[in-house]
Structure 1
Amino acid sequence: MAAIPLPSSSTLLPHTKLNHPSICPLVVNTPAWTSVSGNRNAHRHFHVLTKAKTSLEPDLHAKDSVAPETVNDENDFGVVNMHHVGILCENLERSLDFYQNILGLKINEARPHDKLPYRGAWLWVGSEMIHLMELPNPDPATGRPEHGGRDRHTCIAIRDVSKLKNILDKAGIPYTLSRSGRPAIFTRDPDTNALEFTQVE
């Protein structure tokens, strides 16, 4: 596979108001782009259609790797899959603008958001979720690695990295591409939380 060149000017800027291991829940996306007005930039968003499965990073794991059925019977407490990832945000509305209007994620209205002592929202990522929590973010906005793959990050599997790249370009959101040459793109949300989008078949 040919290496994907890194953009020379992809710097991560905290002012754009703009964390998972290699095995990640998947998102199957079929772009249905619509313009969202009223923002500083005209954003495009795509709707995420999904069915969850597992993606293994090819540069870290053999492509045909299979998770063992059980480690051993005594320690098998029934792991099923990743249920959700919690992401802290300073301002819920600002984060929802990014996750809904740029990434096209939909809110899971069935999840409780008024029974916790802080504001938040649950967003569908395939059959799993991201839980946005409006709490003081302990991670600094400056001094973070430029490449999100060298930072704590949440990985979402998608069908077409090039289409997401175009969406981020149109919205003026900085990103870096995978340094291993595989089809993957890294960006940050408004609180500088790193997000990886890896392409799967």
Structure 2
Amino acid sequence: MAGVNILPSSSSTLLLPHNNIIKLNHVGICPIVVNTPARKNIVQNVIGNRKTRSQFVLTKAKTSLEADLAKDSVTSEAIDDENDFGVVNLHHVGILCENLERSLDFYQNLLGLKINEARPHDKLPYRGAWLWVGSEMIHLMELPNPDPYTGRPEHGGRDRHTCIAIRDVSKLKAILDKAGIPYTLSRSGRPAIFTRDPDTNALEFTQVE
């Protein structure tokens, strides 16, 4: 079979001299034409076909992988939905106070927080007040404070505390200085200040943009 080049192809029948017939599977034949455009085109077509098949296989594998990942994602979302009970934001922080008027003087008159008149007070078995902190609230509740002050940090940095975001720590610092209320600036150097209310509840005020 001199002068014949066998190349991959589909199933075909080859006619040879003397009427001999050979059945070929998955091979193709073409005459060898040395250094001619025809031969180059044949070779390029074969190589192109190989690349096309390879790209098809890779694309199919990629599509299958993406489908599996999408299925896993849907399953994960379904699991998350089952455990998602609808957290929206922080609604309010409860703060105990021994004397409501004294605490209101601190939170309302000194810090400038406004009372939420829409919140009911007479339906509770104790005196209290709701104060706006942005879109959330502080709920003052007149009860004996169960937290002993002895042994706790002076100004509440390492303690149970309520953190309020403010625009200017330096202005609050001037207000506390004028009122004679002790405080501690953040030891990390960030713009934040720690203090306590009249019932020693710890408060942090952190500066935000």
Change (3 A) 1:190 1:70: farther
Name the structure 2 match of 1:178.
186
| Residue from 200, 203, 206 that aligns with 1:195 | 203
Q: Computing the radius of gyration over CA atoms, which structure comes out larger, 1 or 2? A: 2
Paired letter, 1:187: T
Q: How does 1:84-163 map to 2 (within 5 A)?
A: 84-163=92-171
Q: Work out the CA distance in 2 between the residues paired with 1:70 and 1:187.
A: 45
Paired letter, 1:196: E
3-state SS of 1:143 partner: coil
Report the alpha carbon displacement of residue 200 of structure 1 after superposing the two structures with TM: 0.3
Change (3 A) 1:140 1:158: same
- Is the CA contact (8 Å cut-off) linking 1:118 and 1:133 kept in structure 2? yes
Q: CA RMSD in A?
A: 1.7
Q: Work out the CA distance in 2 between the residues paired with 1:163 and 1:147.
A: 18
- Is the CA contact (8 Å cut-off) linking 1:70 and 1:76 kept in structure 2? no
3-state SS of 1:97 partner: helix
Higher helix share: 2
Q: Work out the CA distance in 2 between the residues paired with 1:170 and 1:143.
A: 27
Structure 2: which 5+ residue stretches go unaligned? 1-76
Question: What is the aligned-residue identity percentage?
Answer: 95
3-state SS of 1:150 partner: coil
TM-score scaled to structure 2, two decimals?
A: 0.61
Q: Work out the CA distance in 2 between the residues paired with 1:115 and 1:152.
A: 28
3-state SS of 1:139 partner: coil
Structure 1: which 5+ residue stretches go unaligned? 1-68
3-state SS of 1:101 partner: helix
**What's the CA shift string for 1:91-135, capped at 9, x where partnerless?**
000000000111000110000011100000000000000000001
3-state SS of 2:140 partner: strand
Change (3 A) 1:75 1:175: same
- Is the CA contact (8 Å cut-off) linking 2:155 and 2:196 kept in structure 1? no
Report the alpha carbon displacement of residue 143 of structure 1 after superposing the two structures with TM: 2.4
Q: Work out the CA distance in 1 between the residues paired with 2:107 and 2:205.
A: 13
TM-score scaled to structure 1, two decimals?
A: 0.64
Report the alpha carbon displacement of residue 73 of structure 1 after superposing the two structures with TM: 2.0
Report the alpha carbon displacement of residue 141 of structure 1 after superposing the two structures with TM: 2.8
Larger RCO (alpha carbons 8 Å, 6+ apart): 1
Q: Work out the CA distance in 2 between the residues paired with 1:131 and 1:71.
A: 35
